[in-house]
Amino acid sequence: MKRTLTLLLALLMLLLPVMAEQDGDAGLGEDLAIVTSEGRELKYGDKGEDVKQLQTRLKDLRYYNGPVSGNYMEVTRKAVRAVQEAYGLEVTGIADLDVQEIIFGDAHRPLKKGDSGKDVSRLQTRLSELGYYWGQISGNYLDGTTAAMGNFQKDNGLEKTGRADVASLIKLYSDDIVMPTQDPNATPRPLPSPPADAAYTGVISYGSKNKNVSLIQERLTVLGFFDRKVTGGYYEHTFNAVKKFQQHNGLTADGVVGEQTWNALFALDVVRSGEAPKPSPTPAPIPYFVEVDVNNQLVKIYARDEQGTYTILDRIFHTSTGTKNYPSKPGTYTLNGRKARWAEFPNWGNVKARWWLRIDKYIAFHSVIYNSYDVKSVSTGSVRKLGSRASRGCIRLTVADAKWMYDNIGEGTQVYIHEDAPLDPELKAAHKPGSYNSKTYLHNVTPAPSPTPHFDSAKMPEINRNLKTGSEGSDVFWLQSKLKELGYYQGTVTGTFLDGTKNAVRAFQKDMNLSQSGSADRKTLDTLAQLAAQSAAPTPLPTDPPDQAAGTQQGFTVDENQP
């Protein structure tokens, strides 16, 4: 039986919290992204599942009030026109890919007095966080919301209308905002001393319920950030009040009371809500740089060194990039931070993926493919193809690696995609993920690498076997290291003999007039051992201490008075 997309999405919203709790990611990012890249332009008269999805999204945004029929008729065209008008686009009623990017992205609908709904509640919550709105989060756009929006517009260089047009909403939800204007005629109120038992005992966050939560609520009330009953329960109103306090006191506004926030709450120089706010904290540096090596089908994560340069290779993931027909377009991208726990690809058979992290409007990082919103519905074909080109341009990863990207790679991170790296089969093999477990529907954890063997350039270790494709061990490590030192091996020294090592051995054998088998046989190893011994530095002979004349000639003087 066919179900409408509305029902599907409703069921998804019920399932996602359960899945999120299993993965420990509740509350992170958006729930779902509908990915329209490589899709089709939608216009009057069109029919299909993609039209249903467009209607569903427009209905969620309150632009559309018709049936989700899959038929692009006049009501749908009118809704698309309303979006185009709100965003200052040419009003055609045609949902091209740029318009769909807005609709399926972080779209807003204009709000005004008399409107109601979840988007009004979100607006009131945001105005409350910034210190403009002190009423109930009711979802009803009335006089208090109108006044708060007008004051926000005035402080942020926008026309003061009290109506939340799209430009005002984009500004409101950005980080580039001005805090409320202080009343210059306000008389400072004396601040009561903190209670004697206000001692920090650990992090307090959403869901906490204890005596220290009551202390926080009481202190926030005195400081003018909290206007509710002191309950001892850390929930929405306390969370928002803490964020307002943090923003006003130059702290990172995460709504969590760590030691820094606790100390600021009870500090003598704390800034109250009616006083001039402290400067915002200096943004933390971007921790990672991401390289997508298409030739080797690897994602390389670089961390910052002491000089702030991304030189520390932190981790490497196997991937599936785009095929030759649908390539992952080379270039350098800066992430905007948009992500979702699930993504759906309506233009590619409605397949799904987890831990979606946008690169641009066409490509993203995400997990292997799923056939439905069930964590057991993994496409084993996408699992088998990891390590080879297989996607429609996106960067596929194991579920665990995609989750790591989702959790750790944020807005401002640069991603460099390129196709010109030399092939390095040894590196690729060294970072192959663990085997896929059909019971957990995940890859097994990759075993920890063994310690790096010692390499003595001047002395070959005892090797009692021919080294060839598939050989592993410290003897292969020495062979690779020596060939790399001599300029024959260009890959990564891993201790595993694969094609990169074979090609290097063959090139060495050719120069030494040996049989070019590509395997390190006895003659090849003996030749390398002789070269290693010849490269050993001779032991220096003992020398007499320099005399005075010699010392003077070398640029330093000898003090005759020293013993």
Evaluate if residue 18 carries a pLDDT over 80. no
* pLDDT, position 14: 39
Evaluate if residue 487 carries a pLDDT over 60. yes
Question: Region 495-511: what's the mean pLDDT?
Answer: 96
Between 260-269, 322-331, 344-353, 507-516, the lowest mean confidence (pLDDT) is in 344-353
Report helix, strand or coil for 289: strand
Question: Region 70-77: what's the mean pLDDT?
Answer: 95
Task: Indicate the DSSP class of residue 489.
Answer: -
pLDDT tens for each residue of 97-146: 888 888 887 788 899 999 998 889 989 988 887 778 888 889 999 999 99
Query: 277 and 249 in contact (C-beta within 8 Å)?
Result: yes
Q: Which domains does the chain have, with CATH numbers?
A: 5-103 (1.10.101.10), 118-172 (1.10.101.10), 288-436 (2.40.440.10), 474-535 (1.10.101)
Between 12-16, 165-169, 381-385, 481-485, the lowest mean confidence (pLDDT) is in 12-16
Q: How far is CA 378 from CA 384, 399, 440, in A?
A: 11, 10, 11
Between 97-101, 204-208, 358-362, 557-561, the lowest mean confidence (pLDDT) is in 557-561
Residue with tokens 């306000």: 186
Give the best-scoring range by mean pLDDT among 61-65, 251-255, 493-497: 493-497
Evaluate if residue 538 carries a pLDDT over 70. no
pLDDT tens for each residue of 378-417: 999 999 999 999 999 999 999 999 999 999 999 899 999 9
Sequence-distant (6+) residues with CB within 8 A of 204 are 210, 212, 213, 216, 234, 256, 257, 262
Q: Measured between alpha carbons, how far is 521 from 411 in angstroms, rounded to an integer?
A: 52
* Cβ neighbours around 443 below 10 Å, total: 21
pLDDT tens for each residue of 143-164: 999 999 999 999 888 999 999 9
* pLDDT, position 67: 93
Report helix, strand or coil for 146: helix
Question: Region 50-70: what's the mean pLDDT?
Answer: 90
Q: What confidence tier does 562 reach under pLDDT thresholds 50, 70, 90?
A: very low
Top pLDDT among 205 and 423 is at 423
Q: Measured between alpha carbons, how far is 160 from 154 in angstroms, rounded to an integer?
A: 5
Q: Measured between alpha carbons, how far is 412 from 169 in angstroms, rounded to an integer?
A: 22
Report the percentage of the chain scoring pLDDT > 70. 85
Evaluate if residue 554 carries a pLDDT over 70. no
Residue with tokens 């579920």: 399
Report the percentage of the chain scoring pLDDT > 90. 53
* pLDDT, position 179: 63
* pLDDT, position 35: 73
Distance of CA 77 to the CA centre of its chain: 36
Residue with tokens 């990169």: 500
Query: 300 and 313 in contact (C-beta within 8 Å)?
Result: yes
Cα angle at 93 between 85 and 4, to 5 degrees? 110
* Active-site residue set: 366, 394
Between 15-29, 113-127, 201-215, the lowest mean confidence (pLDDT) is in 15-29
Question: Region 200-217: what's the mean pLDDT?
Answer: 88
pLDDT tens for each residue of 331-342: 999 998 888 889
Evaluate if residue 446 carries a pLDDT over 60. yes
* pLDDT, position 548: 41
Q: Measured between alpha carbons, how far is 137 from 160 in angstroms, rounded to an integer?
A: 22
Cα angle at 429 between 425 and 435, to 5 degrees? 150
Sequence-distant (6+) residues with CB within 8 A of 522 are 466
